[in-house]
Structure 1
Amino acid sequence: MSEVGVIGRVTSVQSTTLRVSLEVGAKGFTKVGPDGLHTVGVVNSYITVPAGAHRVVAIVTGVSISRHVEKYDRQVLLSEDDQSAYELEAAVVGRFEGEAFKSGLTGYPPLHAPVRSATPREVKNIFLPRDVPALRLGTSAVAAEQDVFLDANLLLGHHCAVVGSTGSGKSCTVMAILDGLLDKPIPNGHIVIFDINGEYAQSFSSATPRGRATRTIVLGPQLGSSEGLFLPHWFMNNEENLALLRAGEGVQAPVLQRSIADARAVSSSTQQDVTKLQVIQSAMTVIEQLFGNSNNSEQPTERQLLSMREVVAGQASIDGPCHSQWTEMLRLIDQAGQSAQLSTQKWSLLTAKQKDILSELFQNLRTQISGAFAVLGMGSAEAAPDFDAPVHYSLQQLCDFFLPNRIQIEQANDNKIAGYVATLQMRLSRLLADGRYDFMTRVENHHDPLGSYLRLLMGADPTQATSDPDWPAANLYAKQAETHDEGPSVTIFDLSLVASDVLENVTALLGRILFDFAVRSDPRAAHPVLLVLEEAHRFIPARRDSSGVGTRSTAVFERIAKEGRKFGLSLLLASQRPSELSETVVAQCGTVIAHRLTHEADQTLLRHATALSSRALLDQLPGLAQQHALVTGVSTGVPAAVRIRDVADPPKSNDPNFLRTWSDASKLDELPSHIDRIVAGWQGNSEEQVTETEGDDLI
């Protein structure tokens, strides 16, 4: 092989690390080759070395000079260069087979093999994937004229993590990746963004080219049905319900499961039966309380019994699923009424015989009521409904009726059940009283709720273009969809106002819905989705202890990370603290884009999660400049130091200018009204209320 362009010789081969001794002509760190002047010995540049039929490619990770003194027969004057040895250290990253670059090794170079700097053409072949869709991430930090590309399918198919300290450029890198995807003709693209800081809405506003090129819907930041940021509680599956209410496994979990199954089983057609049965149960309780009335019990008992008969007779006249039970209850009430011979005389008390007759009546009525519940799909221990079915039910009715009813049924087998479940009832009551959860617990039922929600997530019209839709956020969607033309769908969940202890339940449920949709899709991956998680450590915390903190959300996204690829669900994570992320999720990310990281724990996690050949590069992490990153993984041919491309209309994550703002004296006059607006939104007041308050202040 010709020696033209040789810069040195291999002096050591250890696993994926090569040491190279530079030749005399290369010690100036530039060398003339057949295709021009080459830079030699610069960290992050590339070299090639012959290895059998191929050429090994390595990235320079270190340079050094060692002083040496040779013995001469006579004393001579030596220059500094004559007394120094110049060496490179490089990590092997792949090979050239002819002109095609391929990752991995098939052989190692021998000692003393000639080493060359990679030519511009070779560098281009390294960075530009052949015959595959590629997105431009930025330019090489060493060769500014060379663009760095990522294999789009490998990037999406194997998940991607963007990490770096605050202010290092993570959000702009995420946007650069999205822009690279949007550069492609992808009208059927689907992107869902969990935006915890409220940064992305401005980047996709209708006034920006990016917003005009996509079908973007922004949900939030205000919580509630009209703002679009709502999540019906009945979408939760069994595990999510148990986690939300922290139901104990022994007694509370089975009782809650059966109670929710009872509530789901009651459709709109059978709701009237359930309500009437509840009324009869309440009336019996009222009469039983009259047994102990020492002043007047016979007259109110007669009145209650007559009203019960009227309700039962009305239901018995309807041909419904519980017709036989209502008919038998009517017969029992008429029979007991004749036997008890109640009068309307005031101040009279129930006799012992009357109490006995009524007690027997109530026992028989409760038997019929239990039978009616069984017919309706409630209360039967043998029934086995799908606990995970996303069927509407009222959480308030669960608290007021279905849970107490289930407790009463179970009391027949264990009279301590009520005590065991008391704390669960208290937690459910507190959940309903907690206004932060209203966007989940107070959502009204509407037509096709699950279908509408999935259409929203996937960029389709949740109202199905109906003239009078009952979808809660129909007005919001209509307003934002006015500017929609064509292009991929982008759905942004602005979660900036969601309380921290509520956030886990929201993100876990949204992530699980997307995953279940992907799993159930046939054919598989017919509509792939990219899920972007900003500040991912908030959604996918590492499981450090047995307290259960973050367990549910972490479990959901770990499953997506491990199984989502084959179903067409990809993750794009951004985090400033990768060490606080689930290690399982980080390890499943095939591409890692690392900005400046100064914390040792963060660097250690990345070293464990990246390929051996890339670990030497990670020593550079503490010193990386803003907008610069190290890229490793399956979507790039080689590990690379990259300057991320500039993005227009970046996310709202820039640092505030303290001194300029503090120097503006006019802002002092705006401060009171600014505080009023914040407090009004914080306390849930409307703008009209704020305006009225300001008017009162003026008066």
Structure 2
Amino acid sequence: MSELSFNEFDKIGSVIYVDTNQVLIEVEENEKISLLKVGSIVAIQTTRKFEFTIGLIDKVRRKANELLTLDNFMDEYDEDFEYEYVSSDIIQISLIGTYKTVDGDDKNIFKRGIDTFPQISHNCYSINGDNLNSFMNIIGDKVSSEKQLEIGTFAIDNSARAILDGDKFFQRHASILGSTGSGKSWCVANLIEEASKLNNPNMLIFDLHGEYKSLCEAENKYAEYYKIAGPGDLEKQDEKYVFLPYWLLNRDEMLSMILDRSDNNAPNQASRFTFHVRNLKEDTLKKENKSEVLNTFTVDSPIPFDIKDLVVKLKDDDTKKGIGANGREVKGEWEGKLTRFISRFETKILDKRYGFLFQPNSNTLKYEWLSILLCRLIGTNDEKKGIKIIDFSEVPSDVLPIVTGIIARLLFEVQIWMDEKERTPFAILCDEAHLYLPIKEDADNIQKQALWNFERIAKEGRKYGISLVVISQRPSDVSKTILSQCNNFLVLRLSNDRDKSVIKSLLPDALKGILDQLPILDIGEAIAVGDAILLPSRIKLKVPQLKPISATKDFWSEWDNKKVDNIAIAKAVENMRCQTKK
């Protein structure tokens, strides 16, 4: 691989200002200013012979200065001076790394961080032509072949592949952010497609709108499809329909759905609920002869029990009379205090929209059922793909945070309790994250339960082999705690000032200049920043082979060429009534 070499033609100018993040260069020849573009890469001479500081051009500006011509000066009171104008061309550069032609036994090394800052009057050179091609190859070759995650090409050099370090991308969590229609779904599909080329990929995609189902249906499919059971799926036995029975919820998750904290009897209701749930789980363990578990389990342990038995016990408490000192019946200790709680509870149980929670099939009451479920979600075998799409499209929005949180919590806890040597890493891709991972201050009781689970994964998941990829069109509405734990960002077009400011607040000052390009990115272009890529860059994303069902409708064309299908509307009405798609 050839090293970078510069000549007088490549020379832009010299340094006139330096701070810890930026450098100003005065361009020596006016003609060269037209060749410089925002986002271009430059190399700045340092005091070391074999070393250059690498930067990105943030701004290019020309300033006209007035010079007084003294030849026509007549006297100090004469105002008829003649002026001539000279231009001062300045470029502003953000410093991003260091290039060394020789570093010990190694040659042509580029790394993040600045070893030696430029000094005033040091020369600055543009990196283009053969130098640009060589430099992009240096960046790509820095990632070993087994770690390469190719996502597209560099915008400044379409012939150079944009390669991320796959290990670093998932090890330190990541975010894919961009406005609706900017190409996020294609970006996600690209990641999934690249992961599918590995021998044993392990990913779960939380699909809120069913748009990634197409990745599971083609002949060359590379993902398995699962769906949280909708109202029309409750009687189906196919394993692709996922039930999350009530007994998987911990105490706080369940109470957040059915307990009214403003009720004066809320403490009594929570107390009796907790008491009976624990006893019912204890009965199951005794029946299964699980003596070891029986000695250490808690009310939050995921142990199956029949919800009908719980309702019977609560109703018995609510109607049971007490016995007075003289043996006569008196009002019972819990009598009448659980009525409203039971009513809310039964309403949830009977609502088919929540059937995947409260009306699961009989198999879910088996003690070994949870192991089978988790093996399907994070286990692999020769017949199943390691990439799983989980369709949440029929989950009611009010319990969506609970449902996503249950799955995340179970996966996290399994990794915690698994022997360290036997753990295998997996990633959770959270599509439309703003819907269930909101800012904590804006979250209700149900959303806070999910937030706690995901924030714990964001802060501690790395050591247990769990990666989060947060995908959202509104980063300003996503938990700041979770975003702050992401060390890699693929940011597509964003124009909202609040969203842009959130992203800028998460990055070092030296990298904020590149984000000024966000509003002008084309569809399918992204700014890649983070540990997984050496050079923060504008990237043209690849088009995935299997495209998600997320294409933007061509309104004008379809209005001209396609009639409305009244039969389809009538069918949709029936689907709405049935709460399922047929």
Specify if TM > 0.5. Answer: yes
Query: What letter is aligned with 2:495?
Result: T
Structure 1 residues without counterparts, runs of 5 or longer = 31-40, 272-319, 321-374, 462-483, 691-699
CA contact (8 A) 1:8 1:26 kept: no
Q: Which residue of 1 aligns with 2:566?
A: 671
In structure 1, how many angstroms separate the alpha carbons of the residues matched to 2:426 and 2:7? 51
Q: Which residue of 1 aligns with 2:179?
A: 165
CA RMSD, aligned part only?
Answer: 3.3
**Relative to 1, partners in 2 of residues 1:71 and 1:123: Cα closer, same or farther, differing over 3 Å?**
farther
Q: Which residue of 1 aligns with 2:378?
A: 458
Query: What letter is aligned with 2:227?
Result: L
**Relative to 1, partners in 2 of residues 1:415 and 1:218: Cα closer, same or farther, differing over 3 Å?**
closer
Query: What letter is aligned with 2:62?
Result: I
Q: Which residue of 1 aligns with 2:42?
A: 47
Answering whether residue 342 of structure 2 is matched by residue 425 of structure 1, we say: yes
Query: What letter is aligned with 1:193?
Result: I
Q: 1:591 aligns with which of 488, 495, 505?
A: 488
**Residues 116-125 or 612-621, more deviating:** 116-125
Q: CA deviation at 1:646?
A: 1.7
Mapping of residues 540-579 of structure 1, within 5 Å: 540-545=437-442, 547-548=444-445, 550-579=447-476
Q: 1:442 aligns with which of 354, 359, 366?
A: 359
Q: Secondary structure at the match of 1:267?
A: helix
Q: Secondary structure at the match of 1:501?
A: coil
Query: What letter is aligned with 1:49?
Result: I
CA contact (8 A) 1:579 1:602 kept: yes
Q: CA deviation at 1:268?
A: 8.6
Q: CA deviation at 1:205?
A: 1.8
Q: Which residue of 1 aligns with 2:96?
A: 93
Report the structure, 1 or 2, having the larger helix content. Answer: 1
**Relative to 1, partners in 2 of residues 1:235 and 1:2: Cα closer, same or farther, differing over 3 Å?**
closer
In structure 1, how many angstroms separate the alpha carbons of the residues matched to 2:212 and 2:580? 25
Q: 2:270 aligns with which of 235, 253, 257?
A: 253
**Residues 509-518 or 522-531, more deviating:** 522-531
In structure 1, how many angstroms separate the alpha carbons of the residues matched to 2:321 and 2:412? 36
CA contact (8 A) 1:42 1:63 kept: yes
Answering whether residue 256 of structure 2 is matched by residue 243 of structure 1, we say: yes
Q: Secondary structure at the match of 2:445?
A: coil
Q: Secondary structure at the match of 2:298?
A: coil
Query: What letter is aligned with 2:283?
Result: V
**Residues 383-392 or 172-181, more deviating:** 383-392
Q: What are the superposed Cα offsets for residues 456-511 of structure 1, whole Å, 9 maximum, x if unpaired? A: 102547xxxxxxxxxxxxxxxxxxxxxx757x512111111221112122111111
Q: Secondary structure at the match of 1:391?
A: coil
Q: What are the superposed Cα offsets for residues 299-343 of structure 1, whole Å, 9 maximum, x if unpaired? A: xxxxxxxxxxxxxxxxxxxxx9xxxxxxxxxxxxxxxxxxxxxxx
In structure 1, how many angstroms separate the alpha carbons of the residues matched to 2:323 and 2:394? 42
Q: Secondary structure at the match of 1:148?
A: strand
CA contact (8 A) 2:314 2:338 kept: no
**Relative to 1, partners in 2 of residues 1:411 and 1:567: Cα closer, same or farther, differing over 3 Å?**
farther
Q: Which residue of 2 aligns with 1:392?
A: 304
Query: What letter is aligned with 1:178?
Result: I
Answering whether residue 408 of structure 2 is matched by residue 511 of structure 1, we say: yes
Answering whether residue 539 of structure 2 is matched by residue 642 of structure 1, we say: yes
In structure 1, how many angstroms separate the alpha carbons of the residues matched to 2:211 and 2:307? 34
Query: What letter is aligned with 1:433?
Result: L
Q: Which residue of 1 aligns with 2:504?
A: 607
Q: CA deviation at 1:127?
A: 4.5
Q: Secondary structure at the match of 1:550?
A: helix
Answering whether residue 119 of structure 2 is matched by residue 110 of structure 1, we say: yes
Answering whether residue 21 of structure 2 is matched by residue 16 of structure 1, we say: yes
Q: CA deviation at 1:602?
A: 0.5
**Relative to 1, partners in 2 of residues 1:90 and 1:398: Cα closer, same or farther, differing over 3 Å?**
same
Work out the number of aligned pairs and report it: 536
In structure 1, how many angstroms separate the alpha carbons of the residues matched to 2:383 and 2:560? 44
- TM-score scaled to structure 2, two decimals? 0.84
Q: Which residue of 1 aligns with 2:522?
A: 625
Q: What are the superposed Cα offsets for residues 502-532 of structure 1, whole Å, 9 maximum, x if unpaired? A: 2122111111111112222212672211111
Q: What are the superposed Cα offsets for residues 137-194 of structure 1, whole Å, 9 maximum, x if unpaired? A: 11111222222111111100011111111101111111122223334xx222111111
In structure 2, how many angstroms separate the alpha carbons of the residues matched to 1:490 and 1:411? 60
Q: Which residue of 2 aligns with 1:355?
A: none
**Relative to 1, partners in 2 of residues 1:678 and 1:410: Cα closer, same or farther, differing over 3 Å?**
farther
CA contact (8 A) 2:111 2:534 kept: yes
**Relative to 1, partners in 2 of residues 1:440 and 1:524: Cα closer, same or farther, differing over 3 Å?**
farther
Q: CA deviation at 1:19?
A: 0.7
**Residues 49-58 or 598-607, more deviating:** 49-58
Percent of aligned pairs with the same residue? Answer: 23
Structure 2 residues without counterparts, runs of 5 or longer = 73-81, 103-107, 325-329
CA contact (8 A) 1:128 1:148 kept: no
Q: Secondary structure at the match of 2:470?
A: strand
Q: Secondary structure at the match of 1:100?
A: strand
CA contact (8 A) 1:219 1:229 kept: yes
CA contact (8 A) 1:524 1:567 kept: no
In structure 2, how many angstroms separate the alpha carbons of the residues matched to 1:169 and 1:408? 61
**Residues 413-422 or 634-643, more deviating:** 413-422
CA contact (8 A) 1:218 1:494 kept: yes
Q: Which residue of 1 aligns with 2:76?
A: none
**Residues 518-527 or 97-106, more deviating:** 518-527
In structure 1, how many angstroms separate the alpha carbons of the residues matched to 2:404 and 2:313? 29
Q: Which residue of 2 aligns with 1:58?
A: 55
Report the structure, 1 or 2, having the larger strand content. Answer: 2
In structure 1, how many angstroms separate the alpha carbons of the residues matched to 2:304 and 2:178? 42
Q: CA deviation at 1:13?
A: 0.9
CA contact (8 A) 2:476 2:499 kept: yes
Q: CA deviation at 1:658?
A: 2.7
In structure 1, how many angstroms separate the alpha carbons of the residues matched to 2:449 and 2:411? 15
**Relative to 1, partners in 2 of residues 1:270 and 1:587: Cα closer, same or farther, differing over 3 Å?**
closer
Q: Which residue of 2 aligns with 1:145?
A: 159
Q: Which residue of 2 aligns with 1:219?
A: 227
CA contact (8 A) 2:12 2:126 kept: yes
Query: What letter is aligned with 2:163?
Result: F
In structure 2, how many angstroms separate the alpha carbons of the residues matched to 1:532 and 1:411? 57
Query: What letter is aligned with 1:632?
Result: V
In structure 2, how many angstroms separate the alpha carbons of the residues matched to 1:443 and 1:636? 45
In structure 1, how many angstroms separate the alpha carbons of the residues matched to 2:352 and 2:422? 38
Structure possessing the higher radius of gyration over alpha carbons? 1
Q: CA deviation at 1:684?
A: 2.7
**Relative to 1, partners in 2 of residues 1:90 and 1:458: Cα closer, same or farther, differing over 3 Å?**
same
Q: CA deviation at 1:595?
A: 1.1
Q: What are the superposed Cα offsets for residues 72-107 of structure 1, whole Å, 9 maximum, x if unpaired? A: 6658xx999x82122111111111243211112233
Q: Which residue of 1 aligns with 2:78?
A: none
Q: Secondary structure at the match of 1:144?
A: strand
Q: CA deviation at 1:222?
A: 3.9
Q: CA deviation at 1:405?
A: 4.8
Mapping of residues 28-427 of structure 1, within 5 Å: 29-30=34-35, 41-53=36-48, 54-70=51-67, 83-97=86-100, 98=102, 99-118=108-127, 119-120=131-132, 121-131=134-144, 133-183=147-197, 186-207=198-219, 209=220, 211=221, 214=222, 216-219=224-227, 222-223=230-231, 224-225=233-234, 226=236, 228-246=241-259, 248=261, 250-267=267-284, 385-401=297-313, 404-405=316-317, 417-427=334-344
CA contact (8 A) 1:191 1:531 kept: yes
**Relative to 1, partners in 2 of residues 1:663 and 1:27: Cα closer, same or farther, differing over 3 Å?**
closer
CA contact (8 A) 1:411 1:418 kept: no
CA contact (8 A) 1:171 1:651 kept: yes
Q: CA deviation at 1:242?
A: 2.4
Q: CA deviation at 1:634?
A: 1.0
**Relative to 1, partners in 2 of residues 1:409 and 1:456: Cα closer, same or farther, differing over 3 Å?**
farther
Q: Which residue of 2 aligns with 1:465?
A: none
**Relative to 1, partners in 2 of residues 1:12 and 1:460: Cα closer, same or farther, differing over 3 Å?**
same
Q: Which residue of 2 aligns with 1:489?
A: 386
